[in-house]
Structure 1
Amino acid sequence: MSKQVWKPGNMLYPLPAVMVSCGREGETPNIITVAWAGNVCTNPAMLSISVRKERFSHSIIKDTGEFVVNLVGRDLVKAADWCGVKSGRDFDKFKEMKLTPQESQKVKCPGILESPVNIECKVHQILELGSHDMIIGEVMCVTVDEKFMDDKGRFDLGAADLIAYSHGEYFELGKKLGKFGYSVSKKPTKNKVKKKTK
């Protein structure tokens, strides 16, 4: 096996592609597509998004101190890409992509109704790192689409056809390979069938 040595770069892939909605009161809400997002803390629940300072949404989030992370399924991938390459300075992204602003529970900016999961956040901290600022948000509320609830009352996120972003391309998630802890779980023992003696 041989490997090439490259200069430092962002090669941590794949990543979730999410649509982040934000907005100032009295103004048209905006959407920015972010691939650099992740969980950072369980208690309190926190996540991070990384946004360039020059992006239109950066100042909105910094000024209002809130945003909503909207997960992206296969049916939203075109809208996610469009919202990532167009600026809210020039377009009403909700209108252009025929998306529905969803009233949030704990923040003033809307979520995206068509998204399977909306994660409402308040800004906890902004870290200035260089090309991007990492915005850490505390999760205030999560709303989920009821159509993804299974017959046992559990949320089946796998049915939402979520997408991943890898080095400039979008991908569907593949088949499930296991679940957390499966590598160390004890395999169930098979019941031995006793032969009947005549």
Structure 2
Amino acid sequence: MNMKVSKSPSTALYPVPAVLVTSVLEGYQPDIITIAWTGTINSEPPMVYVSVHTSRHSHKLIKESGQYVINIPSAEQSKELNYCGKVSGRDVDKFQNTGLTPVPATNVQAPLIKECPVNLECQVRQVVSLGSHDAFIGEILAVHVNEDILDAQGKIDYSLAKPLVFCGGQYFMCIKGNNL
């Protein structure tokens, strides 16, 4: 039998989604931040959250604009995902440096990322200050999905979407396996 060992409290939940969050504020260029602290938080109305460190450039853009887009990258965007998590939008134009394409959203000012197969337009409904991070709870106003990842029933085929997760400091691709 395995014995349990107690550890200090930490962010030990794994895996977590790895996404690219876009934001913009008047007078600033659109920015992209890599976020792994995100998830679904409500179904009616559909709501998600992103948790952003208060020192990050994107924190200011999201807090002041009240909007963001969660762009779900595929394995093909892993290099860009990694880059956007390591540099600050205060210093560089991440769209220009990654070659990712900003596309106008339908309900918010923040752009969609064309290369990401799924995009969720979000309006901030509540900000929860947690200490080092603020959680931006956003209502999903629109969902955009590339047609080529939809199955015959119009649902997302995750094996075609190839989403990424963050686990133990590394990114992994979700793969189709045996259903449990």
What range is the shorter-chain TM-score in? over 0.9
Q: Which residue of 2 aligns with 1:110?
A: 111
Write the letter of the residue equivalent to 2:36: A
Q: Which residue of 2 aligns with 1:31?
A: 32
Q: Which residue of 2 aligns with 1:88?
A: 89
Q: Which residue of 2 aligns with 1:77?
A: 78
Give the share of equivalent positions with the same residue, in percent.
41
Q: Which residue of 1 aligns with 2:8?
A: 7
Write the letter of the residue equivalent to 2:131: G
Structure 2, unaligned runs of 5 or more: none
CA shift, 1:26, in A, is 4.6
- Highest Rg: 1 or 2? 1
* Distance in 1 (alpha carbons) for counterparts of 2:17 and 2:67: 20
Give CA deviations for 1:55-103 in whole Å, capped at 9, x if unaligned.
Answer: 0000100110000000021001110110001000111000000000011
CA shift, 1:155, in A, is 2.8
The aligned length equals 179
Over aligned residue pairs, what C-alpha RMSD do you find?
Answer: 1.3
Q: Which residue of 2 aligns with 1:167?
A: 168
SS at match of 1:82: helix
CA shift, 1:2, in A, is 1.8
Check the 8 A contact 2:159/2:175 in 1, yes or no: no
Q: Which residue of 2 aligns with 1:50?
A: 51
CA shift, 1:152, in A, is 4.2
Check the 8 A contact 2:159/2:176 in 1, yes or no: no
Structure 1, unaligned runs of 5 or more: 180-198
SS at match of 2:85: helix
SS at match of 1:85: coil
Write the letter of the residue equivalent to 1:36: W
TM-score, scaled relative to structure 2: 0.95
SS at match of 1:140: strand
Write the letter of the residue equivalent to 2:23: C
